[in-house]
Structure 1
Amino acid sequence: MGVYVSIRGWLECDEKQLAAVHEITSSHEDNHYTSGWGSPRQHVNWTHYLFYGADIRESALDWFTDQIEKIARIPASDDDGDRVRGLFLVSHESDGMAEWQIRDGQLLITLADKRYRYLDE
């Protein structure tokens, strides 16, 4: 059956960065796990949000991590210096839950706080 990893979280960015995010996710199209990406039906105000939610095979985790690392490296698109940022909770069937922070051009992975354990029950 295989080992699965549950991924749920979001990214926030500006309009120019959103176009770059779409280029990255499109270049990773797999006609299956790519369907986990979603966005609001209509954009509201200034921040753009993209969400990901799916249970993927452990063997596809590098596919997702590669996208997130490339997205994290998208530069700021204006003088305010804001980069793409986000937060994902990633639950591995045998390794437990990790918190993935996308900030400052990097993907930072730490153990998730015990407050989120209820999501794995």
Structure 2
Amino acid sequence: MGVYVSIRGWLECDTAQLAAVEKIISSHADGHYSHGWGRPRQQVNWTAYVFFGGDLRESAVNWFTDQLTEMARIPASDADGDLVRGLFLASHEIDGTAEWQIRDGRLVISPADVRHRYLDA
């Protein structure tokens, strides 16, 4: 059956960056796991949010982290200099939960805080 990783989290960006995020999602579309991406029906105020939730085979995790790495590299679109940022929790069936931060133009992976152990079920 294989080992699975439950991934859930979000990205936040501006409207111009959102177009780049959506292009990256489309370029990685696989007809299955890519359906885990979603957005609110309508953007509320100035921040655009993009969410992901899905249980991926361990072998597909690189497919997902490659997307996050590309998204982290999207440049700021205005003078504020804000980059895409976000937070994901990845619960591996064997290795436990990791925290994936999208910040400062990169993907930063570290063990999740013990507070998130309840998600390891």
Q: TM-score range by the shorter chain?
A: over 0.9
SS of the residue 1:45 aligns to: coil
TM-score, scaled to structure 1 = 0.99
Q: What residue in structure 2 maps to residue 53 of structure 1? A: 53
* Separation of aligned partners in 1, 2:88 and 2:75: 20
* Separation of aligned partners in 2, 1:34 and 1:96: 23
SS of the residue 2:43 aligns to: coil
Cα root mean square deviation, aligned: 0.5
Q: What residue in structure 2 maps to residue 63 of structure 1? A: 63
Q: What residue in structure 2 maps to residue 11 of structure 1? A: 11
Aligned residues: 121
* Moved segments of 4+, more than 2 Å: none
Mapping of residues 1-121 of structure 1, within 5 Å: 1-121=1-121
Percent identity between the two aligned chains: 72
Q: Which amino acid aligns with 2:119?
A: L
Q: Which amino acid aligns with 1:93?
A: E
Give CA deviations for 1:43-76 in whole Å, capped at 9, x if unaligned: 1100000000000000101100100000000000
* Separation of aligned partners in 2, 1:60 and 1:6: 11
Unaligned runs of 5+ in 2: none
